[in-house]
Structure 1
């Protein structure tokens, strides 16, 4: 069964023909998602939704913040769809 998560368009860091780089809210983590599974939602055009199933595996990563390692992955996490949902919808109180 397909699920969708709605995000603000400003969460998109980069777009290519095949994949879109999305920032996870309230974290420094990013992940690539197939562009064909991303749709515009909402009337204002500022909302997007991306589709996935329970079988998806999300590979999150974080780049360095320094001058020389800003494009280097310094941390990687592989999450199931259920763990990803928990992390994606995590609030500041958690």
Structure 2
């Protein structure tokens, strides 16, 4: 009679080198994530500054401001009622956010 044992479906084996490699990979992933978040914050600040500069330039030039308002009106007129409602709500929120 032979003794046949079934191999386990999943087996766990503790290996120090594997653990160290896993810790190293997790550290590298966290470091990369932190760097990406920092770069995203810098880019967001840069875009905000650019947007404020552009808004000031548009507001300072009457011809450009009129053309900008006409383009916004055309865009809103081309939207469906639901899309228009959403866009106006977003513009309202943005205006309120800048007022603070």
Q: Shorter-chain TM-score: what band?
A: under 0.3
More helix by share: 2
TM-score using structure 2 length: 0.21
Higher strand share: 1
TM-score (normalizing by structure 1):
0.22
Structure 1 or 2, whichever has the larger Rg, is: 2
